[in-house]
Amino acid sequence: MRRWRGVAGWACAGLALYAVYLQVSFGARIDSDGANSALQAWDLIHGHLLLHGWLFGDATYYSFELPINGITQLIFGLGPRAAHVASALVYFIVTACSVALAVAGSRGAARAARSAVTVTVLAVPLLTLMTVWTLIEEPDHPGTSVFMLVPALLLDRLPDSPQQRPASWWIPAVVCVILAAGELGDATVTYVAVPAIALACAYRMLAGRRWRSADAAVLLAVIVSVPLALLIRALMTRLGGYQMVAPKTQLASPSHWLGHVPVVWLVLRDLYGAVARPDTMLGAAGAALGLICLLAAIAGLGKVAWTWRRATRAEQVIAAVIVVNLGIYLISRMPAADGSREIAAVLPCGAVLAARALVPSQLARRAAALAAVAVTGLIALFPLAMAASRPRLLGLFHRHPPVRRQGHDPHDRPGANAGRGRPARLGTWLGNERAVVQPRAA
């Protein structure tokens, strides 16, 4: 009975958190990029699995966000409502994976305190509307962090000693499949998750001088995921699948790297909500809270670096993801003041390390445990409540005109014409306005 009470408590907390994220999502807008993704998802759920005729940008989000958008459209139909529900659900899944990593190895009140710290770090950026557009609205790089958090969770289940009989022999194969799926949707997985996991596993393999080990199997699986994703993509193209713009992978001149440092620092602060903007709730106080969260994440990263030999696989992978993501962004041509989406995975990874650094795995004293849970819980509720107080642009049951393609018969079979032919020019999707899709002129 006690176990079921715990499950019920976690379930209620999760539902409440999702309700807050949904409220936050309804307070923001969905623009033409979101409408584009919604139409792609609409095609996907109506049988056009290869999305023939679509021209994507440099990230397709084909293997995670688009299916979630499609599932919500099956329930709510094609329109802003389904897009908001899907956006909130993606960020909730990112939060759930982060919490699962943060509480790993902890017990009792420490689990609740670590969960609250993780949620706080992920909630504070939502005080700024511009960051809400980055983190929650529309398919974007924040959802890609799932393909880094889930493998880290699985790697924590691997045996540490070759004498231990591996009951989780399936993990390397699953990690390979997850990474390949992520690489299909976003090149960030290829250039961040793959090298981060490979570095962590290679270190453990070399440090233990065990060439036939679980780490070696994962390292091989990570390497195989790259040609596997390329093979699947080539097969899809051969069968008439979607086309896409090549990802931006150019490196900047080494003479520019030092000049990128202040830009990367600004973008990192912006991602954590540590920059006071005109649309930041609480102004400088909200930015100060974001800076505290950023410093906590830096402290967590420093702790993993200091105790690297004793750190768990998950901690090493998460730390490597942060370093690799920031490092690649620094030496690329992408650094810009509005580029927080390019390092979005740093936020949930930093939240995990902050929680594990600030809260020990066990709180022995009852008074200290209760105080820790109460304080961290109240701190987490504050940014969530403030972010959810932003006025809605659209309600869950608000009626709005249906989304239709201009010039198409509304009685046509759903998805029969969606995504066919030439790329579309999309109008802005705001509030209860219609999203109008106009074919380009020949």
pLDDT at position 233 is 95
pLDDT at position 330 is 95
DSSP 178-190: HHHHHHHH-HHII
Lowest-confidence range among 86-90, 92-96, 129-133, 348-352? Answer: 129-133
CA distance 191 to 319: 15
Query: Among 222, 226, 215, which residue's Cα sits nearest to residue 173?
Result: 222
CB 108 within 8 Å of CB 315: no
pLDDT at position 436 is 41
Q: Residue range 113-133: average pLDDT? A: 94
Q: Residue range 363-378: average pLDDT? A: 85
pLDDT at position 161 is 62
Query: Among 35, 247, 214, which residue's Cα sits nearest to residue 144?
Result: 247
Q: Residue range 183-189: average pLDDT? A: 94
DSSP 204-232: HHHHHT-SSSHHHHHHHHHHHHHHHHHHH
Task: Determine the distance from the C-alpha atom of residue 54 to the mean position of all C-alpha atoms in its chain, rounded to a whole number.
Answer: 24
CB 133 within 8 Å of CB 388: no
Task: Determine the distance from the C-alpha atom of residue 24 to the mean position of all C-alpha atoms in its chain, rounded to a whole number.
Answer: 17
DSSP 349-387: HHHHHHHHHHS-S---SHHHHHHHHHHHHHHHHHHHHHH
Tell me which DSSP letter residue 343 carries: G
pLDDT at position 167 is 64
- Classify strands 424-426 and 437-439 as parallel, antiparallel or unpaired: antiparallel
Q: What is the pLDDT of residues 13-23, one digit of tens each?
A: 999 999 999 99
Model confidence at 434, pLDDT cuts 50, 70, 90, reads: very low
User: What percent of the chain has pLDDT above 90?
Assistant: 63
pLDDT at position 420 is 36
pLDDT at position 432 is 39
Handedness of CA 136, 140, 143, 145 (dihedral sign): negative
CA distance 374 to 385: 16
CA distance 8 to 150: 23
- Output phi, psi for 285, to 5 deg: -65, -40
SS3 of 249, please? coil
pTM above 0.85, yes or no: yes
Sorted by sequence, the CB contacts under 8 Å of residue 2 that are 6+ apart come out as none
Model confidence at 89, pLDDT cuts 50, 70, 90, reads: very high
Model confidence at 163, pLDDT cuts 50, 70, 90, reads: low
Handedness of CA 391, 396, 397, 403 (dihedral sign): positive
Q: How far is CA 113 from CA 25, 309, 372, 387, in A?
A: 26, 26, 6, 21
